[in-house]
Amino acid sequence: MKTIKEVAHQFNVTYDALRYYEKEGLLAPIQRDAQGRREYSTADLDALSKIVHLRALGASIADIKAFSVLFQQADITPESYDTGIAFLQDLDHQL
């Protein structure tokens, strides 16, 4: 488990950005310790890594939400993959 300070440093983001990603639902609710401080798990760090990389590619918060929904479904369809690939290609062309 990592603290908000450690995570902010690791991903070069602000505490406010981390709280915002959680508030917007990009990150699942972060576990808290007995004092109410956030404790980030490995799964949280994996999700945050995706968010930070997509933001670096120019994706908006709305884009990241839509992209995440595609791959959170129980039955991922070929159309979901095609949509995800098209989204990533669009970001690539914007660079």
- Taking only the tens place, the pLDDT of each residue in 6-19 is 999 999 999 999 99
SS3 38: strand
pLDDT number for residue 33: 94
pLDDT of residue 76: 73
Length of the chain: 95
pLDDT of residue 74: 64
Amino acid at 54: L
Phi and psi at residue 2, in whole multiples of 5°?
A: -125, 150
Tell me the C-alpha distance between 86 and 43, whole Å.
26
- What predicted TM-score, i.e. pTM, was given to this entire model? 0.80
pLDDT band at residue 92 using 50, 70 and 90 as cut-offs: confident
Q: 11, 52 in Cβ contact below 8 A?
A: yes
Q: pLDDT tens for residues 26-85?
A: 999 999 999 999 999 999 999 999 999 999 988 999 999 988 877 676 677 778 778 877
Spatial separation of the C-alpha atoms in residues 62 and 58, rounded to whole Å: 11
Residues in a beta bridge with 38:
32
pLDDT number for residue 73: 67
Q: Are 39 and 33 in contact (CB under 8 A)?
A: yes
